């Protein structure tokens, strides 16, 4: 399998959890509409007022997805 990257969207504040969860709904819809295979989409709690929504994809998709989805940051992902 090729290298994978975790694209990350940060949400902060008292409503960070519900907003991050809602963002995942849109990421899932996008992955289905674009036929993105083997993606992992989920929410992670960093702190009670900092949640992240993330999408793990193959590295060859990162340039296009960064341009289109505008994540806050990214990092290499190890399974």
13: pLDDT confidence band, cut at 50, 70 and 90? very high
65: pLDDT confidence band, cut at 50, 70 and 90? very high
Q: Are 8 and 71 in contact (CB under 8 A)?
A: yes
To 5 degrees, how large is the angle CA 28–CA 32–CA 33? 115
pLDDT reading at 71 higher than 90: yes
- What is residue 1's predicted lDDT score, i.e. its pLDDT? 56
Q: What are the residue ranges spanned by the domains of the chain?
A: 4-74
28-46 pLDDT tens trace: 999 999 999 999 999 999 9
For range 51-70, the mean pLDDT? 98
pTM for the whole thing?
A: 0.94
- What is residue 79's predicted lDDT score, i.e. its pLDDT? 80
């Amino acid at each position: 399998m090729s290298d994978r990257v975790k694209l990350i969207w940060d949400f902060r504040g008292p409503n960070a959890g519900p907003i991050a969860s809602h963002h995942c709904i849109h990421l899932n819809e996008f992955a289905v509409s674009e036929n993105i295979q083997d993606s992992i989409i989920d929410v992670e709690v960093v702190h009670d007022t900092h949640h992240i929504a993330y999408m793990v994809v193959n590295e060859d998709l990162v340039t296009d997805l960064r341009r289109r989805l505008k994540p806050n940051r990214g990092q290499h992902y190890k399974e």
